[in-house]
Structure 1
Amino acid sequence: MLLAGASASAQTVRAGIEAWSAGKPEQAVAIWKPLAARGSADAAFNLGQAYKLGRGVPADLAEAQRYYEQAARGGHLEAQTSLGLLLFQNGNRAGAMRWLKTAADAGEPRAMLVYGTALFNGDGVPEDRVRAYALVSRAAAQGLAPAKATLEEMDQVIPIAERQKGVALAQQLVAAGTAKATAKAPVPAAKAPAPKAASAAPAQKPVAVPPPPVAAGGAFRIQLGAFRDRAAAQKLYASLGPRLGGAGLTLVPSGTMTRLQVGPYATRAAASAACARLAPQPCFPVPSR
């Protein structure tokens, strides 16, 4: 009976996805809302996407966060990652790192990239370059393009001995995850719908949003990372190109590191919007100095 109930729920969520894909986001939202109210993590995640994108409902990041958190607490990996990124952009680093670590531990590639980058930079978490290399290399192995670029930068600054330890740790994490999944795997059921089918549909068709305006003398910038090599920071800035909407480069010395900041933006909201366009690149608003 539980399996049948899950199948019916998944089919209903799928009906919302079909409406979304057919250009009827209001209908999709109307389908998902009662399902989310009954505890569907997939429906809650999709509603979070709708509120974040402003499709079918007015854009509302507070509502997006609320639905992401509901889905995240239900074990939805994409929601845990999206919630972590949203909290990070809003300056809640402690909350962001908690959710990103949870998703990274479960093998979600975007979370592994962002949390691994934070570990490398010691940004909100204790620096751990071995684990950072392990997580980013796992994300790159799953085909995440920004992770591949980040791994190339790490290869230039992390000694070979540490990289070898990182590779070994990555292999251990994969093996542990495989063993855990095998232990939890149920007896195969006849033609049960794929559990992930409903999870990511809204993200597959995001609406194009123009870059937020860059304000001369604005109060905020966005920070994209901290680097030991200034050239690596400049390379990342150049690679993001038109996605930055003409925002200027600022390199801020910080001890032995160089922080890459871009802007300025008139408000924190404008800076957060700029960060949202760059996901999964680690990014958060900071006051201009």
Structure 2
Amino acid sequence: MIVLGLLAACSATPPAEQTIRDHYFYGGLAAFHEDMHAEAARQWQRAAELGDGEAARNLGHLYRQGLGVEADGHIAAAWYQVAADAGVISADYNLGMLYMRGGPGLPPDPDEGLKRLGKAAQAGFPPAKAELERLAAAPAPPVATPAPTVAETAPAPPPAPAPPAVSEPSPLRMQIGSYRTRAAAEQEWKRLRLKGLTPEIIANRVEGKGLWYRLVAVGPAQAVEAFCASAQAKGMSCWSRTR
């Protein structure tokens, strides 16, 4: 039998500024999951301006996809950079993918993209490591070269660099959805049966919508990314947080 409820508070009361940041961050999540994208952008921008790096990363998502704001690759990159500077590992991955593929008004920059992916992989972010491995395994495009003369010899290729060591990723917190009642959130957790993750249900008041209950899954990055991959395959978004 799964016992649901808030995780026990084992630490001291957080400072008031962090409480305010969390209010805006989770208010943005609740708004996003209700398809109130403009409201999510407003809440996350307020949290980011108060120093919340993960809110800045989520703003990057919105500007990259044009959800609730006008799509703009340059603004998306700027918010991802703010998040990366704040120590959000996944933001380096998002920035790397944005540079690899380009975005609205932002041309691709593969060199910068590989640099960012390498930084995220070295910090222990599994999707970045997987992307680098995929790129390394992809066949290189053929390059036409003139036939060597008798005096020319083909130099031996340099040895491949050793892959960077990666450390264990930090646990993640991922919002699954927001619900009108606690019972609905509990029922959703029982339905999903997510292995390796612990549930957390948090009451949150959304402006103009009243009291909602957020269902958050807490656990190792591998379990969170596995769920995210499944969700994205179904056209759903996945939003995680390291604390």
TM-score scaled by length of structure 1 = 0.43
Pick aligned residue for 2:131 from 114, 126, 133: 114
Asked whether 1:76 is paired with 2:88, we answer: yes
Rounded to whole Å, the distance in 2 between the matches of 1:8 and 1:80 is 25
Counterpart of 1:128 in structure 2 is: 160
Larger Cα Rg: Structure 1 or Structure 2?
2
Q: 1:129 to 1:57 in 2, by over 3 A?
A: same
Q: 1:105 to 1:207 in 2, by over 3 A?
A: same
Which runs of 5 or more residues in structure 1 are unaligned? 136-172, 182-190, 209-289
Asked whether 1:36 is paired with 2:48, we answer: yes
Q: 1:127 to 1:207 in 2, by over 3 A?
A: farther
Deviations 1:244-268 (A, max 9, x none): xxxxxxxxxxxxxxxxxxxxxxxxx
Q: 1:12 to 1:34 in 2, by over 3 A?
A: closer
Deviation at 1:2, TM superposition (A): 8.6
Counterpart of 1:3 in structure 2 is: 14
Which runs of 5 or more residues in structure 2 are unaligned? 1-11, 103-107, 141-157, 171-199, 203-215, 236-243
TM-score scaled by length of structure 2 = 0.51
Q: CA RMSD in A?
A: 3.9
Pick aligned residue for 1:57 from 61, 65, 69: 69
Deviation at 1:205, TM superposition (A): 7.1
Counterpart of 2:120 in structure 1 is: 103
Deviations 1:38-62 (A, max 9, x none): 3211111111111111111122222
Q: 1:93 to 1:39 in 2, by over 3 A?
A: same
Q: Which amino acid aligns with 1:87?
A: Y
Rounded to whole Å, the distance in 2 between the matches of 1:97 and 1:40 is 26
Q: 1:24 to 1:207 in 2, by over 3 A?
A: farther
Please identify which structure carries the higher helix content.
Answer: 1
Deviations 1:124-164 (A, max 9, x none): xx873763xxx8xxxxxxxxxxxxxxxxxxxxxxxxxxxxx
Q: Which amino acid aligns with 1:3?
A: P
User: Contact 1:53–1:207 (CA<8 Å) still a contact in 2?
Assistant: no
Q: 1:107 to 1:21 in 2, by over 3 A?
A: same
Counterpart of 1:140 in structure 2 is: none
Asked whether 1:88 is paired with 2:108, we answer: no
How much identity, in percent, do the aligned residues show? Answer: 24
Rounded to whole Å, the distance in 1 between the matches of 2:233 and 2:62 is 9
Q: 1:195 to 1:93 in 2, by over 3 A?
A: farther
Figure out how many residues of one structure are paired with residues of the other and give that number. Answer: 151
Q: How does 1:122-201 map to 2 (within 5 A)?
A: 128=160, 131=163, 173=165, 177-178=167-168
Q: 1:72 to 1:195 in 2, by over 3 A?
A: farther
